[in-house]
Structure formats: structure tokens, C-alpha cells
Structure 1
Amino acid sequence: MSPKMVALQQAGAPPWRLRPVVLLTIALAWPLARLSPHRLSAVLRFLSRGARPATAAQAERARDAILGLSLRHGGPRCLERSIAIALMCRLGGGWPDWCTGVSTHPFEAHAWVEADGHAIGENPDEIAHFFITMKVSVSP
């Protein structure tokens, strides 16, 4: 993520019955985010096998649940946040398009999820400046 100021994103806490699952996905996202890009891509491709494409509503609910329990993921930790959202969707049977990209003016790196052709929880004007370098979609 770039050194520019990042607005803290927040959401309401998910229901109590869902919180253990959300905490699990947050806990799993942390070590996955430390993998090399090649290994991370391989793991996410494996996890996406057999899933149906996630809907925008499913991805937004997953994002809101993650942000509702983790202030840390509401800021500049886009890689961990996007992985956690994808994992949360997978637990529901779906898989969003997980993307990473770069912008060159100024140089920035970012990670996000897309569903139904739209970046979830991202400003469309800002995300349009990113060139996608890695994308993990539903695998057959």
C-alpha cells in the first residue's frame, strides 16, 4: 500500500454466531499474506477450486464482517483484508475475483476483491488507475 493517508474503514460488528468464523478467516489471512506472490497465488487458486462465483452482496457481507471485528483491517492492510474477504466468501461456498495491482503515478500497490464485475468497497475512480498484476478467479 502506498504511504499516502488511508481512511479507516469501519462496519458494524457481525452477529455473535458468525464471529468465530470471521476471527478464523482473519487469523488465516495473516500468515497467507506473508507468502511469496507465487505461493500465495497457488494457495488461493487451490482454495478457489469448485467454488461458485461470489455475488457482490456476499462479498460485501464478508467485507463488512471482517471490518466489523478488526480495526486493523480497516486501514492500510489491504492484502490481509482482501485475503480474509476471499476466505470468508469461500466458507459460504463462493469465491470473488481476488486481485492485486500497481499504479505507476505515483507508485502504489493494492489488493482488493471483485464480484459481479465491481471492486468491493473500493472507490471506482481510484481502482481504475491500477494495472492488475495477479488475479485469482473461480477455478473449474
Structure 2
Amino acid sequence: MSISMVNERAISPPPLWIRPLARAAVLLARGIAKLSPERQFALLKSLRRGARASRADEAHRARNAVLFVSVMCTGPWCLQRSVATALLCRICGTWPEWCVGVRTEPFTAHAWVQVDGIPIDEDTEQIDCFHRMVVIRPRSRKEPSE
């Protein structure tokens, strides 16, 4: 699904307390990645309930932990990486903006997380070339039921 993006390795070892949570998020993400897109989106929308919006440092910490504990979340496996990052944020009580986008030349798709419209540890110039098809934002109190 992905093109090569920047920073696909952990920057530093994460704290010990978050590593088992990151492993759990990676395992869950592997299962979610096998679902149909409709089921993925519905499940992620339901999982975001009750979580506050992630801050950039929280999303960065989650992504770093996911990359540290799983080789399968490095390289071209952006869907599993982004879902695992969002799930780890959710386990910690927050939710980032989870995005899927496409570009046409060359055609490719990519999934990532962002906070306040700013991609977390991604090449922003490349991300700007993607048309965001799906964005699952933290649920606001004013948002109608879905």
C-alpha cells in the first residue's frame, strides 16, 4: 500500500512500560489490516469513542514504540503501522487522526496518522501529494452520532 517514507525505524528505545502495549497493538493491527476496508473504518470509528485527541508527542511516542517492537511495521506496511499507532494511542486514552490517501502519478496508496493535520514522522512533502480518502478524527462532543 505504501511508498517509502521517512523515519521507518524507531528513533530510540521506548520506555519499558509501553513495549507490551505496543506488541498488543501490533497484533490487533495485523488482524484489522486483514478486514475489508468498510469493516476497518467501522471498527476504527468505534474504537475512537471516549478518547481525547492525541497530542503530537503522544502520537510520536506511540509510532516509535510500534516501530521498535515490530519489524512488520517498518518498510511498506503502512496500513499495519498506522493502525497499530492509532491503537496504541487509544490504549493510552487518546486518538490521533488516522488517514488513508491515494495519489495518481505514480498510483499508490498510503496510510498514516496525524495530529491537527500534521503527519507524524512522515515526509510532509510526499504526504501533501496524497488525496485524503478517509480521515478518522477524534470524536468531538459536538459530532453527531454515526
The question of whether the paired residues in 1 share the 8 Å contact of 2:6 and 2:123 is answered with no
Structure 1 residues 6 and 89: CA distance shift in structure 2, 3 A: closer
Task: Tell me how far 1:62 sits from its aligned partner.
Answer: 0.2
Aligned-residue Cα RMSD (Å) equals: 1.6
Q: Which consecutive aligned stretches of 4+ in structure 1 deviate over 6 angstroms post-superposition?
A: none
Query: What residue number does 1:108 align with?
Result: 108
Q: TM-score under structure 1 normalisation?
A: 0.92
Structure 1's 138 and 5: CA in aligned 2 closer, same or farther, altered over 3 A? closer
CA distance in 1, matches of 2:120, 2:5: 17
Q: Specify the alignment match of 1:63 in structure 2.
A: 63
Tell me what 2:37 maps to: 37
Q: Alpha-carbon deviation of 1:72?
A: 2.1
Structure 2 counterpart SS, 1:9: coil
Alpha carbons of 1:101 and 1:5: their partners in 2 closer, same or farther (altered >3 Å)? closer
SS at match of 1:19: helix
Aligned length: 139
Query: Does 2:83 correspond to 1:91?
Result: no
Contact 1:14 1:68 in 2 (8 A): yes
Is the deviation greater in 8-17 or in 93-102? 8-17
SS, match of residue 110 in structure 2: strand
State the distance in 2 between where 1:33 and 1:90 align: 17
- SS of the aligned residue for 2:25 comes to helix
Partner of 2:8: 9
For 2:144, the equivalent position in structure 1 comes to none
Give the TM-score normalised by the residue count of structure 2: 0.89
Which consecutive unaligned segments of at least 5 residues does structure 2 have? 142-146
Paired residues of 1:52 and 1:95 also in contact (CA < 8 A): yes
SS of structure 2 residue aligned to 1:14: coil
Q: Quick one: distance in 2 between partners of 1:70 and 1:112?
A: 16
Take 1:128 and 1:99, find their aligned partners in 2: how far apart are those partners? Answer: 12
Alpha-carbon distance between aligned partners in 1 of 2:66 and 2:13, rounded to the nearest angstrom: 8
> Secondary structure of 1:39's partner?
helix
2-side partners of 1:25 and 1:36: how far apart?
19
